[in-house]
Structure 1
Amino acid sequence: MSRVDFYQLSRDPVERALPLLARATLKAGERMLVVSGDEAQLGRIGEGLWSLPDTFLANGRAGQPHQDRQPILLSDEIEPANGARFLALADGIWREGAPGFARTFLMFDDTTVSAARDVWRMLRSREETERHFWKQEGGRWIEAG
């Protein structure tokens, strides 16, 4: 059984929202792979991971030395060199062929909402996939419908 969490970004950009998910992932004893095809976005996410108040979220880039030791690995492709079981698709683009991930976070905004809806419908037919939808309300994440 795998789980896909859809996170609709409305108030905060992904570089502010994702570090909170990464912190919860590490507290759960898991590792995370963060994927984006946008190099600048990966840079902003990396900065966000280092600057979360009262938390040190060590991270590194795929292809760099010690990538296998990184609790949070930033990459442009789905290759969990750090052994991650949690995957964050930070650019709002769904990628098939991600076996072995127990949980996937699809982060999307107004520009990728239509594609996220298509993914939601597509995953409906997969009995082995549990789907959850989250949205921001008053500075908090709440599960919707």
Structure 2
Amino acid sequence: MDILFYRLDGSTLEATVTTFAERTLARGGRVVVRGTGAARLDMLDAHLWTYRDDAFLPHAQAGGDHDADQPVLLTTSTETPNAAKTLLLVDGARFDPSEMPQFERVALIFDGSDEEATALARDDWRQVMQTDHTAVFWAEEGGRWVEKARSS
């Protein structure tokens, strides 16, 4: 499996998470978005309710009675009660390589202008390279995502 690294250089985290979630749901999948803090997840939650007047993206923050039913679940936990096969890691959320078999797609999204976030992403890249997974680095160019590097 490929572990995807997305460096934000122009897009916002909110827009990138929304695009990932929309595309995953369109394919019939589910998403778990793992963050590190409740305040940021609150902002993502608000964004997903209001990002477009003509669309609805079903989602919730973890901790409710219906977590297992949610197509998109926002959480700080390593648990995946909605059985999502796509994991989005945001705001420095980390992963353990031992949990990767439960996912079909893993993407680490980080702010390219944040030195600490970039350093954490580099640490995660090195960690992926010690597994049998492939690390794939994507960056924005002219408003599009372009693959820049792939571990061997």
Does the TM-score normalized on the shorter chain lie above 0.5? yes
Match of 2:103 in 1: 101
Count of matched residue pairs: 143
Q: 2: distance between equivalents of 1:4 and 1:60? A: 25
> Which digits, 9 at most, give the CA deviation of each residue in 1:82-119, with x for residues without a partner?
11011111112322142411111101112310111121
Identity over aligned residues, as a percent? 35
Gaps of 5+ in 1: none
RMSD over aligned Cα, in angstroms? 1.5
Gaps of 5+ in 2: none
After superposition, residues 66-85 of structure 1 pair within 5 angstroms as 66-85=66-85
Structure with bigger helix share is 2
Match of 2:6 in 1: 7
Match of 2:118 in 1: 113
- Which AA in structure 1 matches 2:35? S
Q: 2:4 is paired with a residue of what secondary structure?
A: strand
After superposition, residues 51-62 of structure 1 pair within 5 angstroms as 51-53=50-52, 54-62=54-62
Q: 2: distance between equivalents of 1:101 and 1:20? A: 19
Q: 1:18 is paired with a residue of what secondary structure?
A: helix
Q: Please tell me whether the aligned partners of residues 34 and 93 of structure 2 are also in contact (alpha carbons under 8 angstroms).
A: no
Q: Please tell me whether the aligned partners of residues 24 and 31 of structure 2 are also in contact (alpha carbons under 8 angstroms).
A: yes
Q: 1: distance between equivalents of 2:27 and 2:36? A: 27
- Which AA in structure 2 matches 1:135? A
Q: Please tell me whether the aligned partners of residues 136 and 142 of structure 1 are also in contact (alpha carbons under 8 angstroms).
A: yes
Shift of 1:41: 0.8
Q: Please tell me whether the aligned partners of residues 36 and 92 of structure 2 are also in contact (alpha carbons under 8 angstroms).
A: no
Match of 1:133 in 2: 137
Q: 1: distance between equivalents of 2:131 and 2:14? A: 30
Shift of 1:13: 2.6
What's the TM-score once normalised by structure 1's chain length?
Answer: 0.89
Q: 2: distance between equivalents of 1:143 and 1:50? A: 30
